[in-house]
Chain A
Amino acid sequence: MTTAIEARDLAKTYPPDVRALDGLGFEVEAGTIFGLLGPNGAGKSTTVKILTTLSTPDAGEAEVVGLDVAREPGRVRRAIGVVTQRSGVDPQATGRENLVLQGEIHRLPRRELRRRADQLLERFGLEEAADRLARTYSGGMQRRLDIAIGLVHRPQVLFLDEPTTGLDPEVRAAMWTEISRLAADEGLTVLLTTHYLEEADRLAARLAIVDQGRVVAEGSPEQLKADLRGDAIHVELAAPESNGRVPAALERIDGVREVVLSGLEVRARADSGPARVPAVLAALDAAGVQVAAVSVARPSLDDVYLRHAGRSFQDADDERRAA
């Protein structure tokens, strides 16, 4: 396999004392979609900034298409396309002007650039809006223009930093189709960051789960889920519990493990989950705990995250947002 992106032991601290990256590393095989999955503030965007030469790490190294990002930023910039989390579209210019400017930056010959711009506008369904100012575009159109801008010079690697954040569900689904087509049709390597579990599950061939500046798990979504062995049992309590009797009661049951209590939610892992439900309910009843609801599910990436980061994805996300 050819490695398109390699990051080793990346560390970065923002003043005064925010540790964004703490020894983060991963490898991406050329021609695949790789996902960096994590809650807000996990360090995904910082990683993208370093890999795209915008920012520099305090420690560690990174290579993109075999080029060291710190030593050869100019050559890296020619090889990559970047769609940043905030749109990079100039709202005071038309869609076509945005594309042409980016092509001029990459010094594409005039005639080829004109053809390429037409082709991309058509491909992303922007022909009709091509000569309108980009500030009149909808969120979805702006995002598509962003991707077109990132592709104008036919990069080897495309970075998509939270490409569907803030989009409506239908627009998001359309973007997913578009992104998977990119890797399939053009042999592009795509590094995608997302805090949507579903998005990582849908798009990424492999993914790294990032938490607090480190990769806590890596593999294909299937592998990661399979590694969990067993189903997720999810119990909703009628009233909050804190004195530890819930985990104690459940862990005594044969085949039930990894019991985590957070607020009203109890999550546990069990081999052949459905068969354990009666025992779980009986144990809780015996402990005098009232149950509001119970469900059993095949493992999801949310469970993978819970297992490796020690807290649920939603909690981690909320924590960050509150901070």
Chain B
Amino acid sequence: MTAALAHSRSMTIRHLRELWRQPWYVAITLVQPVVWLLLFGALFKRVVEIPGFGGGSYIDFLTPGIVVMTALFTAGWSGMTVIEDINRGVMDRFLVSPVARSSLIAGRLGQLAVTVVIQSLIVVGLGVAVGARFPGGAVGVAVLVASSVLLAWAVGALSIGLALVARQEETLIGAVQFVVLPATFLSAGLMKQELAPGWVQTVAGFNPVNWAIEAGREALGAKVDWTLVTSRVGLLALCAALCGWVSTRAFRAYQRSV
């Protein structure tokens, strides 16, 4: 266990150093959400006037959705560095060393957490700059960021697992495209759930992306239902743990195939 912790620390440092050396990576993954936030925010400004939306400001509503969506996108690409490591022989070098397998995942998830925190704060800041107001304050933002990190861990772990099994960038790109956008639209990210068709509401109930958005948005509101927040954060934590376990299993599949 102590070895796993020490190795996770070393691997996190390795990946953070990579991030530090190419900070434009954070900038690139921000382009899309910023466009969404500004364009959608402007385009659908009057969507709040639809009966049943309940009024308020659309940018207040949209910002937490975009934060979670950004985390989802970034996490989806986590497996890319695994494929790079495999192609360069770095993965095999680690696997013939006494490194804890879990640390090869934990190091990436550690870096992912740092990336997601930075991105989330930037998107929230941008939202505020274009007029969003969050009565939930710093605590609300902390809940939103924490839920985004948990969601990112779950998705990141699956992406790493898939990379180990598929070992091809094309497969990973395909999977991310296939999952990320539908998962965003099948949530309350852009539109109030009450206004979505019944089947979308049903699916969203099982969608971790939606759990993160619900927890974050609720915590940013004026009157917070903490039972809802705790239950959603708890589900996300469970989901992240499960996905983490699944991806450690993927190492076996990888080693069977070499």
Q: Please give the residue numbers on chain A whose beta carbons come within 8 Å of chain B beta carbons, in ascending order.
A: 49, 52-56, 74, 77-78, 80, 82, 84-93, 97, 101-102, 104-107, 133, 149
- Contacts A49-B258, A90-B88, A91-B88; A106 near B98 (Cβ below 8 A): yes
B14 and A93: CB pair below 8 A? yes
A88 to B14, CA, bound (A): 15
Q: Judge whether B227 is part of the interface by a CB distance below 8 angstroms.
A: no
CB atoms of A82 and B90 under 8 A apart: no
Choice from B3, B17, B93 contacting A82 with Cβ under 8 Å: B93
Q: Are A54 and B98 in contact, CB atoms less than 8 angstroms apart? A: no
Write out the residue numbers on chain A whose beta carbons fall within 8 Å of the beta carbon of B142. Answer: none
**Chain B's nearest CB lies how many Å from the CB of A95?**
14
B7-A104 in contact (CB<8A):
yes
| Given A93-B14, A101-B10, A104-B10, CB of A77 within 8 Å of CB of B88 | no
Complex interface: chain B residues within 8 A of A80 (CB): 96
Chain B interface SS verdict (over half) = helix
Interface residue B99 (Cβ < 8 Å from any Cβ of A):
yes
Q: In terms of DSSP, what is the predominant structure of the interface of chain A?
A: loop
| Chain B minimum-CB-distance residue to A14 | B257
User: Min CB distance, B253 to chain A, in Å?
Assistant: 13
Question: Could you give 24 example pairs across A and B, Cβ below 8 Å?
Answer: A54-B96, A54-B255, A55-B258, A56-B256, A74-B98, A77-B96, A77-B97, A78-B98, A80-B96, A82-B93, A84-B89, A85-B89, A86-B89, A90-B14, A91-B88, A92-B17, A92-B18, A92-B21, A97-B17, A102-B97, A104-B7, A106-B98, A133-B21, A149-B93
CA distance A84 to B97 in the complex (A): 12
Does B6 make an interface contact (CB < 8 A)?
A: yes
Instruction: Assess whether A77 is in contact with B98, with CB atoms less than 8 Å apart.
Output: yes
In angstroms, Cα B97 to Cα A52, docked, is 9
Residues from chain B with a CB closer than 8 A to the CB of A149 are 93
Interface size class of B (residues with CB under 8 A): 20 to 34
B106 shortest CB reach to chain A, Å: 14
The docked-state distance in angstroms from the alpha carbon of A60 to that of B85 is 30
Q: B98: which A residues are within 8 A, CB to CB?
A: 74, 77-78, 105-106
Query: How far, in angstroms, from A133 to B89 measured CA to CA in the complex?
Result: 17
Question: Which of A87, A97, A107, A133 contacts B88, CB < 8 Å?
Answer: A87
Q: Please tell me if the beta carbons of B258 and A54 are within 8 angstroms of each other in the complex.
A: yes
B78 to chain A, nearest CB (A): 16
Among B7, B93, B256, the most chain A Cβ lie within 10 Å of the Cβ of: B93
B10 touches A105 (CB 8 A): yes
**Could you say which of A78, A84, A106 contacts B93, with CB atoms under 8 Å apart?**
A84
Instruction: State the Cβ distance, A166 to closest chain B Cβ, in Å.
Output: 13
Q: Can you name the residue of chain B whose Cβ is closest to the Cβ of A45?
A: B258
B242 CB–A CB distance under 8 Å: no
**Residue picked from A49, A77, A84, A90, most chain B C-beta under 10 Å:** A90
